[in-house]
Structure 1
């Protein structure tokens, strides 16, 4: 009885506080009731947890006041972990967080390391006492919403783990290519590089690699949020057994994005040559007219082999290709996203050298797989298991959490709201948009603060262990090249 009375009192105080806040802000009572109906408080194991419904209050034009209430009620309200057990260890690719942040490990990150790169950033995002502020520097192309969905993803992280991240000050680049080249920041006289977040990096850059926008949806090409798409991909895999799939290497995309892709088209089947490849140019105008129904990712798991090849830089398509149970023929990438470096050749993919000999590499790989079906199926299964299990949305959020937590702990200054920045929240992002763009935002909204801790961050790589991983990759690629030479030597006899 005493516990019930206490809970009732808490609810009364909670509702009265919201009402008072909105009266002071000058909002109508019906807006207050609509807004507060989006939340309910439940008593679980003696701690109060916010259960967040998948609705927004877009009824008022004064979204600034909406943000203030949203931040106070959700983002800064800490939840207690009700699971006292040790959380499972994160997947191995989390170790690369330590490598990404290594340039700042000794001396930390000063304000100038952040602000010096604003001329290359698309936006700056700050988290201060749980409230989020944003300053825009440049637009993404009109046909894209990378910045919107990236920021949305960070807001969902704050809803999932409210009050558990330190203050943050982030510069973010939404372009294709890595930005921070290693030249002046490498060697005995190296300077500390600027801190810039980005979707990909390479061996010559210091960009801090962050999950791409498409995990929360890519409405421009009708790609669902990752949670929903994963289920579609599972169903697509089950629809066609590997043995029943077409015994060729499949690729569909825009060849004009890189020289390497244009070269790949030479590998298509002709009256005179069979390279075991089936390549298709994406007709964007036709796809737009049809709502990208012909590009349904779950319907593309129909070939035993699928080709991944970079465009301008790294491509979002990698995770979709790897998830298909097919053998991924990975044309040696120059760039990596936050999971790529964990992939091992001949365990997760068949390596294809990015040179003028791609066609011979593809034909060799397909013939090998068709004559070693068990080994080929094992490679395809290992890749799809990695994507569908180790890259499930829970782990994407945990990766973001650990990366931002480690980054925030490296800041040597107290972030402050810069001139020209505005406070943002769910309503300011989602209310102004319509159609599929809004639908995917709502679908990907975190509905409940987690009552579990994030997975346990694995330790940094031991230098010898890291070298062993790199050597294993190098040896596997060399072995495949040796097989290719032997294969074509036998063909010419």
Structure 2
């Protein structure tokens, strides 16, 4: 029978199911070898006899089972649980109604097919970097979040997103670069489909540009107003912007980067094509150097007739790539060097997760920014730190050290790759969004409502009008069924000693590498 979209076997059905299985095993193990060994004509004559004997054996088995269970057939039928245990349950996730662009185009109305969904309890604890959610929301822990605070975040926001009873409403202020806002909003809609009815009422302001803008210094001291809660893709130590997963997890249409759940599998396969020891023993980087001075400085470390800093660096021309079908920018095909350089662009770069996932040792040029998961990275455990103000010599030393300590260097790359595959998979991206938005909503000191200029948003209103790669990536990243379990369990906030120890460990590891590097160059002729 069915109950709440689950298949439930009653005690009698479970008992009969077991007896049928026993009889089938009895037939397979005893009778079939005999029949198979007889001539065909004899087997045909014996078959009715064996059928009668088998039926008799089955009824005797039923009686014997009841005798040993100490229960009559009537009691078994009335009992809700056999032998004091719960019925056997198979959970079935009810699919979300399929997209119907024909109906949407006729009415222009979002469907009402998302319903609350009962999940099984969470069985996993969230990755440790989820603890930074508590830190990101700490500026409002004492005061809560008021409507005035949210309105002040509008100054640089690209859009306001409102969630009321599981439905989304959008008010757009300005369009950012490319389709960042489109895929960020799309990602939040998928969260609502993954956990229907579990995202509380809230509203948020989202800035899709690179640089964090909520300066912490402006909100220090007595008699100052509280900072505006502004969501964006990255932060730094001098700002209070709330960090949220970036748009590329659902695809970056302009440069043909697939949704993360697809690309992650392809990257894993790409790491197996060339074993680490067989890869080119140099540091590899490919990207757009024009976006930042620090990248232009990196290009100076490229190999030349007069100098080899152990670096092989390539400028990426995205316009040319788009004209040639992105044949030379396939990310899984770039896991061919033992070392890969990560360097920020105008701010943080979405490329970090792709570089870390390659099983190569990541040489990470000292960053100024962090995204939602990178605060979980530890120097010399997940990556090798590179000086920002002495890149060439730092890269030269890192590669020489790695080639002289191959096992340890490879282990750093493997740990990082495993971290990305296991702790930054799409399940945890959604769970991070879930916990961040739930924790954020708990701070509200007012009841959110639909603003005058907001319009309802749903997957139909986005995908039915989309075209090309945008539509393709939307369909590939569409959540088709709700999650089967609750989100992972949030870890506790950092206590001050633990937070200090975490930061101190990172700093000590970087200082240790700098000490090794200094000794290396001190003895160089």
TM-score normalised by structure 2 residue count: 0.82
Q: 1:289 aligns with which of 304, 307, 323?
A: 323
Cα distance in structure 1, aligned partners of 2:453 and 2:2: 50
Residue in structure 1 matched with residue 374 of structure 2 by the alignment:
340
SS at match of 2:113: helix
Number of residue-to-residue matches in the alignment: 444
SS at match of 1:267: coil
SS at match of 1:376: helix
Q: Is the 8 A contact 1:56 1:426 kept in 2?
A: no
Q: 1:198 aligns with which of 232, 235, 242?
A: 232
Q: Is the 8 A contact 2:168 2:456 kept in 1?
A: yes
Alignment pair present for 1:443 and 2:476: yes
Q: 1:78 aligns with which of 75, 92, 116?
A: 116
CA-to-aligned-CA distance 1:376-396 (integer Å, 9 cap, x gap)? 011000100010110010000
Residue in structure 2 matched with residue 33 of structure 1 by the alignment:
none
Report matched runs for 1:349-360 at 5 Å: 349-355=383-389, 357-360=390-393
Residue in structure 2 matched with residue 372 of structure 1 by the alignment:
405
Structure 1 unaligned spans of 5+: 8-43
Q: Is the 8 A contact 1:180 1:206 kept in 2?
A: yes
Q: Is the 8 A contact 2:284 2:341 kept in 1?
A: yes
Cα distance in structure 2, aligned partners of 1:254 and 1:297: 15
Q: Is the 8 A contact 2:255 2:318 kept in 1?
A: no
Larger Rg: 2
Residue in structure 2 matched with residue 139 of structure 1 by the alignment:
175
Q: 1:47 to 1:339 in 2, by over 3 A?
A: closer
Q: 1:226 aligns with which of 260, 273, 277?
A: 260
SS at match of 2:364: strand
Q: 2:495 aligns with which of 457, 462, 467?
A: 462
Alignment pair present for 1:381 and 2:425: no
Alignment pair present for 1:419 and 2:452: yes
SS at match of 1:252: strand
SS at match of 1:410: coil
- CA offset at residue 290 of structure 1? 1.4
Cα distance in structure 2, aligned partners of 1:46 and 1:279: 54
Cα distance in structure 2, aligned partners of 1:48 and 1:322: 36
Cα distance in structure 1, aligned partners of 2:196 and 2:454: 22
Q: 2:95 aligns with which of 51, 62, 84?
A: 51
Residue in structure 2 matched with residue 18 of structure 1 by the alignment:
none
Cα distance in structure 1, aligned partners of 2:443 and 2:92: 31
Q: 2:156 aligns with which of 120, 128, 134?
A: 120
CA-to-aligned-CA distance 1:275-303 (integer Å, 9 cap, x gap)? 00000011222201112121101001000
Cα distance in structure 2, aligned partners of 1:344 and 1:48: 40
Residue in structure 1 matched with residue 10 of structure 2 by the alignment:
none
- CA offset at residue 2 of structure 1? 9.2
Q: 1:58 to 1:306 in 2, by over 3 A?
A: farther
Give the alignment's Cα RMSD to 1 decimal: 1.9
Cα distance in structure 2, aligned partners of 1:296 and 1:175: 25
CA-to-aligned-CA distance 1:159-209 (integer Å, 9 cap, x gap)? 110001110101000001112111211244543100110000000111000
Large movers: runs of 4+ above 4 Å: 1-4, 44-49
Q: 1:464 to 1:260 in 2, by over 3 A?
A: same
Residue in structure 1 matched with residue 429 of structure 2 by the alignment:
396
Alignment pair present for 1:64 and 2:108: yes
Alignment pair present for 1:99 and 2:135: yes
Q: 1:211 to 1:312 in 2, by over 3 A?
A: same
Q: Is the 8 A contact 2:104 2:460 kept in 1?
A: no
- CA offset at residue 125 of structure 1? 0.3
Structure 2 unaligned spans of 5+: 8-87
Cα distance in structure 2, aligned partners of 1:48 and 1:297: 36
Residue in structure 2 matched with residue 173 of structure 1 by the alignment:
207
Residue in structure 2 matched with residue 452 of structure 1 by the alignment:
485
Residue in structure 1 matched with residue 513 of structure 2 by the alignment:
480
